[in-house]
Copies of this chain bind each other. A is one copy, B any other.
């Protein structure tokens, strides 16, 4: 079976073969029933971890009825079925401030579910540099960095300058006024004076974690 038409979704069962991981469910805008039906079908047709992003407790309640082993992480809003414990390589996930943690956690958990060993480094914003400089060793051991930062987004450039690994910068919508919902951080990261930095959408912790995980996977020779 290559695809399977629900009325509202056309599942892509060959994605794992083509892209290395099965489809991930984007929960926002889907009903609990829809998320559940899709996860059940993915769980039945794949052996590995299954993941749905931007879920609420209501999504989780519905999924748990059908997939009792499913877990829900409130901070990152992920519903997932962890069926493999493998963690290899190293992805370092940084958050500039306490408020950036939900996005960072979405990245960290995503990368872990896709097989990466993850280490976190939170509240290391650039106005107190010693907090970051004391962990330079971690930055240099990682195969990929995820940097989540709102406001002026400067952490991506500073951390990038301390490592040879590729940096995935994820701007967050944290801030007010002229942060314009994360636009300031997004533009800052796109204009990074540091080579080796690429950017994903505002608040897209999942995308950053996914990108870091596939780089990490290639880097450990899988």
Q: A residues near B, CB below 8 A? A: 2-3, 7-10, 12, 14-15, 18-21, 24, 26, 28-30, 34, 96-99, 101, 122-131, 133, 140, 143, 150-154, 157-158, 160-166, 168, 171, 173-204, 206-208, 210-211, 214-215, 218-219, 221
Identical chains in the assembly: 8
Provide the residues of chain B in CB contact with A197, threshold 8 Å.
200, 207, 211
Cβ–Cβ contact A200 & B199, under 8 A? yes
Interchain residue pairs A-B with the least CB separation, the first 8: A177-B202, A154-B154, A198-B198, A184-B187, A127-B161, A20-B164, A127-B194, A29-B99
Provide the residues of chain B in CB contact with A24, threshold 8 Å.
195
Cβ–Cβ contact B161 & A126, under 8 A? yes
**Chain B residue with Cβ nearest A96:** B193
Cβ–Cβ contact B200 & A190, under 8 A? yes
Cβ–Cβ contact B184 & A191, under 8 A? yes
Cβ–Cβ contact A188 & B152, under 8 A? yes
Cβ–Cβ contact B188 & A153, under 8 A? yes
A188 → B minimal CB distance (Å): 4
Cβ–Cβ contact B218 & A165, under 8 A? yes
Cβ–Cβ contact B198 & A98, under 8 A? no
A152 → B minimal CB distance (Å): 4
* A98/B29 contact (C-beta < 8 A), A10-B123, A129-B162, A161-B126 known: yes
Sample (20) of A-B pairs whose CB atoms are under 8 Å apart: A2-B130, A8-B123, A19-B195, A26-B97, A127-B192, A129-B162, A150-B191, A154-B157, A154-B188, A164-B214, A177-B186, A177-B203, A178-B191, A185-B191, A195-B207, A195-B210, A197-B200, A215-B215, A215-B219, A219-B219
A159 → B minimal CB distance (Å): 10
A122 → B minimal CB distance (Å): 7
Provide the residues of chain B in CB contact with A154, threshold 8 Å.
126, 152-154, 157-158, 188, 193
**Chain B residue with Cβ nearest A128:** B12
